[in-house]
Amino acid sequence: MICPHCLQGEILNARIIKTNELIKICDECDTIWSTSETVSDQNGRFIDDFMKQRNCSSSWREFDIIKA
Ligand SMILES: [Zn+2]
């Protein structure tokens, strides 16, 4: 699926390693959705805000990418 925000990146399924939380993330603009959300340009959060709320850094090292 192509990201509705940047229209370039691919949406990947991932897990936040520290919290075990499943998310969707754009590999281009790093916008994050929780898996309960429908991915659209009306939602999605900036990686910095999303990760700061969980006391994690905004690094892709925080994620375990789940291959489809
Ligand atoms: Zn994107």
Percent of the chain with pLDDT over 70: 99
What spacing in Å lies between the alpha carbon of 15 and ligand 1's midpoint? Answer: 18
- List, for residues 23-51, the tens digit of each pLDDT value: 999 999 999 999 999 999 999 999 999 99
What spacing in Å lies between the alpha carbon of 20 and ligand 1's midpoint? Answer: 23
pTM of the model: 0.93
Mean pLDDT of 14-25: 97
What spacing in Å lies between the alpha carbon of 35 and ligand 1's midpoint? Answer: 16
So where are the chain's domains? 11-66
Confidence grade of residue 54 (pLDDT, cut at 50, 70, 90): very high
Structure tokens at 52: 């700061």
What spacing in Å lies between the alpha carbon of 63 and ligand 1's midpoint? Answer: 16
Name, in order, each residue with C-beta under 8 angstroms of 35's C-beta and a sequence gap of 6 or more.
13, 22, 23, 24
Q: How far is CA 45 from CA 31, 50, 53, 68, in A?
A: 6, 6, 11, 22
